[in-house]
Chain A
Amino acid sequence: MIINTVTLLGHKDHGKSTLIGSMLMHTGSATKVRINEAKMYSKRLGKAFEPAFILDSFSEEREGGLTIDTTRAQIKYKDSAFELIDVPGHEELIKNMISGASYAKFAILLVSAKKDEGIRPQTKRHLFLAKMLGISNFIIAVNKMDTVKYSEHRFEVIREELLKFLEKIGIEGRHVQFVPISAYTADNLTKNSKNIRWYTGKPLLEIMRAMANHKDSGSSDGNIRIILQGSMPHETDSLLIGNVASGEIKIGSNVKIVPQGINAMVNSLFVKGSRKRSAKEGENVAIKLDKLIKTDTKGSVMYNQDYAKGNSANKFNALIFITKAIKGKVIIKFNGMDIKGTVKIKKLIDTTNGLERGAKGAQQLNAANAEIKLESKIPAEPFSVSKELGRFIIYQGDDFSGIGTITSIIGK
């Protein structure tokens, strides 16, 4: 069956791992052995039963009560299946949060309703990042409702503040659903809780089911984009190999390889080892063209010839999120290539309130409008046109320094 990947988001200690553990238990997705192990670990560490311990963990994670690196757990609920991605909530572990969340179809943001917890900078930052990662549907679960006597007022205060922030960063209210829960006591997980009668919506897992069954309208414009991984020998031929990011390629298709700018025609096609007449989105192909491509094509893109934007660029504007202050030269990772370049920050954006600032100031954990210049040309497009060709990662040496999405192409 199709598994829907869902990332958890939110500030540390607002209950992400506990919620996953609780969902594993209450959907019957965890074995007795696992639940008993969790009980044993809880007891040994002198804690009350901790559902988070059902999840796979490093010793440091259970003992320290935090999530260091992302993990995944699968649950089945009625006709749907989910892979829940747990991510760390700590600021210094945001690199791991980004890695985990990047695989999600939709997100569950947790906000603790508990006194002195509530909305934190990291709560908003995670929403900002999730939007950059291309996640467009959100469930906002207001957690620990049992600690505030299931107060409707507390829930409403949190909901209203977040709705304002969502509007500011461009997430429409119709893509967001709020639900009051308690992960620990399982209120509103699979069934409507008797403790929260003022809430008339669906419980969390029913909202997830509805989101899973909701079909994306499809953002692809139908143009052929095949991200190439170079070539391979086959009998006496050389075939180009790659993954179809969009469109459908057929025998006889007229294609252009970018950035090389070479035009060619498809002579034959292989999908998963067999000869085929065509290949579509998501498939890995091997392609024989009517001419031999002699240059390295790792990271190049094969387009349909009549797609005018099938060109290359070395300068573009981007929205970036910075995890380590950027000084001087950077390495941009783009579809498996490492390219040297520079990042010029034009305007910083505070990710905890969405407000713009000048180019000077604290970069770390904030976003920016920036101009990226590369030493060589790449097949780039705005993120709004092609997700796959509009996103990149920023490194300084071996250090992960941020991610970016292309807003417009400047120079060719």
Chain B
Amino acid sequence: MIKQDLKVLEEKSIFVIREANAKFKNVAALWSMGKDSTTMLSLARKAFLGKVPFPVIHIDNSIDFPETYEFRRDLAKKWNLDLIVADSEIKPDLVGAACCGKNKPETLKKVMAKYGFDALIVSIRRDEHGIRSKERYMSPRDKNFRWDYKNQPAELWDNYSSKLDAKGHIRVHPLLDWNEIDIWNYIKQEHVPTNPLYFSRNGYRYRSLGCTHCTVPLKSDAKNVDQIIKELGDTKEEERSGRSMDKEREYVMQKLRALGYM
């Protein structure tokens, strides 16, 4: 995993966040309390001198880890976030990718419609998953949240898509260029608050956070940010290896994303 220049990454992300905020009327961001979306909020605070200027949405299926809820409460208060908690209902007959493909996007659709958001900041990274590396910084979704991946808009010279379907929205991806190790190096450099689940307890830690049903921890003794950075320098495992839905069948992420998954 290549360590990139944090200054370059930071400037690009700040530019994209500011551009989205200026370009669209009603912007919101997804916040899962994970390392990526929390880093994005830290960048947004830099972009707007300490204040995140848009609401942050947590799609809450009520089966997140207790540590995650505590982290949400504390940081929302400390950073004075305009937090929207969107309750998502878990249907017992849906498991794995079917659950992620249905519950989360359905809840998101409702909350987007309720508040009339026309742009949604999502903290995905190109190196996380093959299909995410095909994304644009700004990518239109239609009213059914579908991603027309075979006909994406041109994106060059800091000109981004203005294509807004009725009831559709633009996904904004300010962290697209970052690698997993860059996130951790940035967390270290900027003292970004971190969900405690990332740190080792009883020989295990979470490397990627989903909800309690579908995320398994990996064997690790990394108890702090420095140890995680060292561990990532040596690893040959893929980041989302603890996320069961990615493995059910090939191209599952392509299918999920095409249908509106984040």
Interface set of A (CB-CB < 8 Å, partner B): 1-3, 31-33, 56-60, 68-72, 74, 76, 81, 95-96, 98-99, 102-103, 133, 227, 229-230, 232, 234, 239, 241, 243, 270, 272-273, 282-284, 286, 298, 333-336, 338, 388, 391-393, 398, 400, 403
Contacts and interface: CB of A to CB of B under 8 A. Distances in A.
A241 to B, nearest CB: 6
Interface string B15-31: 10011001100000000
A76 B4 CA distance: 11
Contacts, number: 120
Interface in B126-150: 126-127, 129-131, 133-134, 136, 149-150
B254 A273 contact: no
A63 to B, nearest CB: 10
Given A2-B5, A69-B150, A102-B157, 8 more contacts: A58-B254, A68-B149, A69-B134, A241-B18, A283-B11, A335-B157, A335-B158, A338-B162
Contacts of B130: 56-57
A232 B50 CA distance: 12
A75 to B, nearest CB: 8
Contact of B49 (A2, A103, A286, A298): A286
Interface of B: 2-5, 8, 10-11, 14-15, 18-19, 22-23, 45-50, 53, 126-127, 129-131, 133-134, 136, 149-150, 152-160, 162-163, 179, 236, 238, 250-251, 254
B156 A98 contact: yes
A56 B22 contact: no
A60 B250 contact: no
B159 A393 contact: yes
B131 to A, nearest CB: 7
A227 B22 CA distance: 13
Given A283-B11, A336-B23, A95 B160 contact: no
B4 A3 contact: yes
A335 B155 CA distance: 12
Given A59-B250, A68-B150, A336-B19, A393 B131 contact: no
Contact of B22 (A60, A229, A234, A398): A229
B154 A98 contact: yes
B134 A56 contact: yes
B149 A69 contact: yes
B49 A273 contact: yes
Contacts of A229: 18-19, 22
B160 A232 contact: no
A173 B238 CA distance: 43
Contact of B254 (A59, A76, A391): A59
A71 B11 contact: no
Which 10 pairs between the two chains have the least Cβ-Cβ distance?
A56-B130, A102-B156, A273-B46, A333-B159, A59-B251, A400-B154, A56-B133, A230-B22, A284-B14, A229-B22
A335 B162 CA distance: 13
- Chain B CB count within 10 A is highest, among A230, A272, A388, for A272
Contact of B2 (A76, A338, A388, A393): A76
A333 B5 CA distance: 30
A272 B238 contact: no
B49 A71 contact: no
A42 to B, nearest CB: 13
B133 A31 contact: no
Given A71-B134, A229-B22, A335 B159 contact: yes
A248 B198 CA distance: 41
A31 B161 CA distance: 34
A72 B134 CA distance: 8
B18 A72 contact: no
- Chain B CB count within 10 A is highest, among A32, A33, A56, A239, for A56
Nearest to B127: A74
Contacts of A32: 236
A400 B2 contact: no
B172 to A, nearest CB: 13
A40 B14 CA distance: 40
A99 B155 contact: yes
B35 to A, nearest CB: 20
11 contacts: A3-B5, A56-B129, A56-B134, A58-B251, A60-B150, A68-B150, A69-B150, A103-B156, A229-B22, A335-B159, A336-B23
A331 to B, nearest CB: 9
A270 B18 CA distance: 14
Contacts of A393: 154, 156-157, 159
A403 B156 contact: yes
Given A1-B4, A74-B2, A400 B159 contact: no
Contact of A273 (B45, B159, B179): B45
Contacts of A232: 48-49, 53
Nearest to A275: B49
A102 B157 CA distance: 7
Contacts of A71: 133-134
Contacts of B160: 336
Nearest to B155: A99
Nearest to B157: A391
Nearest to B4: A3
Contacts of B47: 241, 273, 284
B138 to A, nearest CB: 11
Contact of B18 (A57, A81, A284): A284
A336 B53 contact: no
A406 to B, nearest CB: 12
B152 A69 contact: yes
Contacts of B15: 243, 284
Contacts of A333: 159, 162
A227 B131 CA distance: 32
Nearest to A81: B2
Nearest to B17: A284
A386 to B, nearest CB: 12
Nearest to B48: A232
